Amino acid sequence: MEDKRDIEKALADSLKELVTRVPFEKITIKQIADGAGVIRVTFYNHFQDKYDLLAWIVRREILDPVRILIANRMYRESLILIFSNLQRDKAFYMRASRIEGQNSFAEIVMDCANELVLDVFRERGAGEGHPKHPWMNPENLAKYYANSMSYVVLEWIRTGMTIPPEEMATIYEYIGERSMWEMLEEL
């Protein structure tokens, strides 16, 4: 494994395999490195700790693949891909979703989603004009939408991922296109 990406992928695969068998809090860096066929020092050349590696997995395997779809305004397809990629590693994500406390899985997902949404706003030049209200800046709006998406994703994972990805995309689109007041009228 000479390539940086190969080493990072091997470390990610090792963590993913360990998480399906061992509680996350009991997993050591040595176990991750051993599973990847590298030494501990190599792990630290790539990641600060196992939480940093977990965030890398979420970014690289869930969010980065949708960037091209979002850039081409293929929003529904990006939602389906997110849910499909999560479901592909169902055992891992169901166990990972139980990580709580500081650096919880929910916090990692929220931070990663916020980075993605903020990047999208910035790439589109959002915030360069004059928003209708000063609070409606890219940073606040990114947090709002990242919170929404994170909640939907985490609840879907925690309830067993039983709803198909296409249906989850439809649900998220439906909720996202309506105001809270419209939803109240429909309930």
Question: What's the pTM value of the predicted model, to 2 decimals?
Answer: 0.88
pLDDT classification of 179: cutoffs 50, 70, 90: confident
- Residue pLDDT, tens place only, 69-91: 998 999 999 999 999 999 999 99
If residue 70 lies in a helix (H) or strand (E), which one and from where to where? helix 67-71
Determine the distance from the C-alpha atom of residue 54 to the mean position of all C-alpha atoms in its chain, rounded to a whole number: 10
The verdict on 38 and 19 lying in the same domain is: yes
Number of domains in the chain: 2
Q: What span, in angstroms and rounded, lies between the C-alpha atoms of 74 and 69? A: 5
The verdict on 165 and 92 lying in the same domain is: yes
Q: What is the pLDDT of residue 24?
A: 94
Mean pLDDT confidence for 58-64? 94
Q: What span, in angstroms and rounded, lies between the C-alpha atoms of 80 and 71? A: 15
The verdict on 63 and 22 lying in the same domain is: no
Domain containing 41 equals 4-47
The verdict on 75 and 143 lying in the same domain is: yes
Q: Is 179 exposed, middle or buried (0-12, 13-18, 19+ CB in 10 A)?
A: exposed
- Residue pLDDT, tens place only, 14-54: 999 999 999 999 999 999 999 999 999 999 999 999 999 99
